[in-house]
Amino acid sequence: MTDQPTETRRRGVGFWVIVGGAGLLVIATAWVMFLRTDPGSYDPREPRNIPLAGEQMADLELPLLDGSGTVALADLRGEVLVINFFASYCIPCRAEHAELTALSDAYGDRGVQFVGIVYQDTTAAITGFLDQYGWGDGYLYLQDPGSRAVVEFGVYGVPETYVVDADGVIVHKEYGAIVAGDLMPVLDELVAG
C-alpha cells in the first residue's frame, strides 16, 4: 500500500525543482548576455543606433492640416528638415512645443524647415492644441492619413523628432520631448555644411 500524501509531496517537490531549474537557466542566460554587452556602448543618439539613420527619407505626399492642399516631402529637399510627430493628448508634446516653435523662428531663415506631423489625432483636437500653445511661423503642419508617415519613419510613439539633411537623408532622431540645446548643435552643423 502506497502512502498517498508522501507521493503527492514528491510530485510537488519535482514541480518546484523544474521551476527552480528553469529560473536559474533564465538568470544565467541574462547574466551571460549582460557580460557580452558593454552597457556604456549604447547611445541612442549615435547614428548606428537610430533606425533609418543614413537612409533616404520616404517620399510621401501628406495633406496640410488646414486642408488647403498637400506637401510632398521630396519637394522639400534642399532644406534641412526637422520632422516632429506630435499629438494633442501627448503631455511631453505640450512641454516641447514652445522649444520647437522657438527653434523654427531661429532657424527658419537659415534653410531649416520645421514640419509637424499629426500622430493619430483629429484635426479639431490638433487645431485646438495649436491655438492654445501657438502656431509656429513658417511651420508646416501635416496630417498622416492611414499612418503612412508613422510606418515609413518607424515611429514608436510621440513625441519623436527626426532631422533630415538637405539631400533627404535621415541624420538624427530624438525620442521624447525636445530640448533646444540638444538639437541646436545638430542644426548648426548641417546649416554650416
Percent of the chain with pLDDT over 70: 78
What is the predicted pLDDT for the residue at 137? 87
The overall average pLDDT reported for the chain is 84
Write the pLDDT tens digit of every residue in 18-62. 777 777 766 755 554 554 444 444 444 444 445 566 788 999 999
Nearest to 159 by CA among 186, 187, 137, 129: 129
Compute the half-sphere exposure of residue 2: CA atoms within 13 Å on the CB side of its CA. Answer: 7
Identify whether the C-beta of residue 182 lies closer than 8 Å to the C-beta of residue 170: no
Output 13 or 102, whichever has higher pLDDT: 102
Look at domain 47-192 and name its CATH class.
alpha beta
Write the pLDDT tens digit of every residue in 62-97. 999 999 999 999 999 999 999 999 999 999 999 999
Average pLDDT over residues 98-108: 94
CA distances 96 to 2, 119, 132, 183, Å, are 72, 15, 14, 12
What is the predicted pLDDT for the residue at 15? 73
User: Rounded to the nearest 5 degrees, what angle is found at the Cα of 70, between the Cα atoms of 68 and 76?
Assistant: 125
Identify whether the C-beta of residue 108 lies closer than 8 Å to the C-beta of residue 191: no
Q: How many whole angstroms separate alpha carbon 45 and alpha carbon 48?
A: 8
- For residue 4, pLDDT over 70 is answered with no
